[in-house]
A and B are shown apart, each in its own frame.
Chain A
Amino acid sequence: MSEAFLVAKGIAKRFGGLTALSDVDLEIRAGEVLALLGDNGAGKSTFIKVLAGAHPPSEGQILVAGQPVSFASPKDAAASGIATIFQELALSENLSISENVYLGRELKHSVLGVPFLRRKEMKQRVAELLKELDAHISDPEAPVGSLSGGQRQSVAICRALNLNAKLVIMDEPTAALAVAETRKVLALIRKLAERGCAVVLISHNISDVFEVADRMVVFRRGRKVAERLRAETELEEIVALITGAHPDVRALEKAQ
């Protein structure tokens, strides 16, 4: 495995008196799909919000490519190459695919000081990206409102790639999708990793996770309780880790 793109050390997050995360250490490597698992309220969503710059951590340190960073907003995180694809995809349904991919960072050229869009180039680039991702969308000019849930995920992924994201965080990317669509999105996630992107994935669907993840991290009550390579674990073990039935988790929780 390559060197870690992002290292989180001793991350804690408290909301008033409530401790949502404590002492989480994690490494995320380029080209790797890392799944965060855990029951509702286990702390995985809070953790990705810390990585995405939406919540500043109460304690701990984040290193990106070896350099310590501190994110005041998702914009800061984006500047460090971290893109988050939210569950409710932040796409504009009334705009076309290529417009969405470039929205907020359009290609333009100046005519008499007026910035005009370079539509042709944007369209070409998006068509290439869609082809590369094997997204099965032929027309980059189609409005996003006419796309299926899975196709919209592809557009969101295109957007992240186009922003030169080195780490893509995805929150429940397959939650609202039909079976065939889920397969396509999982294939996309693998493609992202093959391109050298690090992918952090939250999912409740453990069989999806087993199909796509290289490594799994289990959260429980705000702590990281286990880390497993896919090759070295089984579905039953992961379920036991999530529910707390696993002897390792019991021992850990007794010790605290």
Chain B
Amino acid sequence: MHRLTQATSLLTGRELILLAACVVITIAFASVSPVFATPENAATIMRNSVELLLIGLGMTLLLAMGGIDVSIGVVMGLSAIAVGRALGANLDPALAAAIGPLTGALLGLVTAAVVVLGRIPAIVGTLGLLGVYRTAIFVVLGGQWLSGLPTGLTEMLGTSLVGVPLSFWVIALAYLAVWLALRRTPFGLHLLAIGNSEEKARLAGISVTKVRFAAFLISGMLAGLAATFYVATYRNVEMTTGSTLALDAIAAVVLGGTSILGGRCSLIGTVLGVMLLRILQNGLLLIGVPSLWQTVVTGGLLIAVLSFEALAGRLSFAKLGWASR
């Protein structure tokens, strides 16, 4: 509760626990795998976190508002195809880079239109869109990968500034911007009020529709930005690109202390949630657990955290008429 208003306080209990968990599993994996605690592997974990950090940021906004987007990973996939096609057509890399966030923003508006104007719960509306987008990806790609894309974008975005990869400067900037929007502008107050109760927010005179559109737009744009970095890093786009990212993002954000019922969020928590998830996935792979098990671990973590919060009385799905049965 209090962390909302005390934006200046450092780490909350939840965040400290997450940080401790990251340290503990790092030590544990390091003691088992000789490869884990190498600078090369640390770089791999960081590179694997780029997309999730950006998509998790958008997901934090959506969950704080009482929304969700289970199609966000596929939105990144579609945006990645757009960037890939632009590169394949020998478009200027700077323009191709802009096409990612642009496509994502456009798809975010589509999501908002379906969920907000269609007046359906976000979880159902975005599930419907997930079905549509998956086939769209298949049709657009024609069953084939986009691969061997030109290197222009990779050269442009693969640079470092003061020893830190450009991608992390962009991520830091994005987090700073969203933090300011959440804690320092009316938009953030309105978003959190909607997350608490849409009805009360409306009674207070907030234009709920506008705020919800903006949040879905921002989330889509961040997924599109993630797509640009994805294409720059891997220079190919597969049928399954992004398909597990929605689950990863929801798990990381909820781990970080953002309420899945809305009204409360933590950006530092999201960063720590992403790190924990990616370290865990990387470490398990290195000690020989097949990658097939990664989604089992993520899904299991998500269920465990929510169940823990429900049992601790901090979460009541009955409030939403979501009683489990």
Contacts and interface: CB of A to CB of B under 8 A. Distances in A.
Interface of A: 74-75, 78, 86, 90-96, 99, 103-106, 108, 114-117, 119, 141-143, 145-146
Nearest to A106: B186
Contacts, number: 74
A94 B141 CA distance: 45
A143 B1 contact: yes
Given A105-B205, A117-B185, A92 B1 contact: no
B204 A92 contact: yes
B203 interface: yes
A114 B205 CA distance: 20
Interface of B: 1-2, 4-6, 180, 184-186, 189-190, 192-193, 195-197, 199-201, 203-206, 263-264
Contacts of B264: 94
B1 A103 contact: no
A92 B192 contact: yes
A117 B181 CA distance: 10
Nearest to A105: B205
Contact of A103 (B4, B193, B199): B193
Given A92-B193, A94-B263, A116 B4 contact: no
A78 B203 CA distance: 11
B189 A90 contact: no
A93 B264 CA distance: 11
Instruction: Please give me the 8 A-B residue pairs with the lowest Cβ-Cβ distance, nearest first.
Output: A104-B205, A90-B203, A94-B263, A92-B193, A104-B204, A96-B5, A92-B196, A103-B204
Contacts of B192: 92, 94-95
A145 B5 CA distance: 12
A141 B5 contact: yes
B186 A94 contact: no
B206 A104 contact: yes
A86 B203 CA distance: 10
Given A92-B192, A96-B5, A117 B184 contact: yes
Contacts of A106: 186, 189
Nearest to A90: B203
A117 B184 CA distance: 5
A85 B191 CA distance: 22
Given A94-B196, A94-B263, A143-B4, A116 B185 contact: yes
Given A94-B263, A117-B184, A117-B185, A146 B1 contact: yes
Nearest to A74: B203
A145 B1 contact: yes
A251 B1 CA distance: 58
30 contacts: A75-B205, A90-B203, A90-B204, A91-B200, A92-B193, A92-B196, A92-B197, A92-B200, A92-B263, A93-B263, A94-B1, A94-B4, A94-B192, A94-B263, A94-B264, A95-B4, A95-B189, A95-B196, A96-B4, A96-B5, A99-B189, A103-B193, A104-B205, A104-B206, A105-B205, A116-B180, A117-B185, A143-B1, A143-B5, A146-B1
Nearest to A78: B205
B214 to A, nearest CB: 13
Given A75-B205, A103-B204, A143-B1, A115 B193 contact: no
A196 B5 CA distance: 33
Given A108-B186, A141-B6, 14 more contacts: A74-B203, A75-B205, A90-B199, A90-B200, A92-B193, A92-B197, A94-B264, A96-B5, A103-B206, A106-B186, A106-B189, A116-B184, A117-B184, A145-B1
Contacts of B185: 108, 114-117
A93 B4 contact: no
A96 B6 CA distance: 10
A95 B186 contact: no
A119 B185 CA distance: 10
Given A95-B192, A103-B206, A117 B2 contact: no
Of listed A91, A103, A105, A142, residue having the most chain B CB within 10 A: A103
A112 to B, nearest CB: 11
A239 B206 CA distance: 42
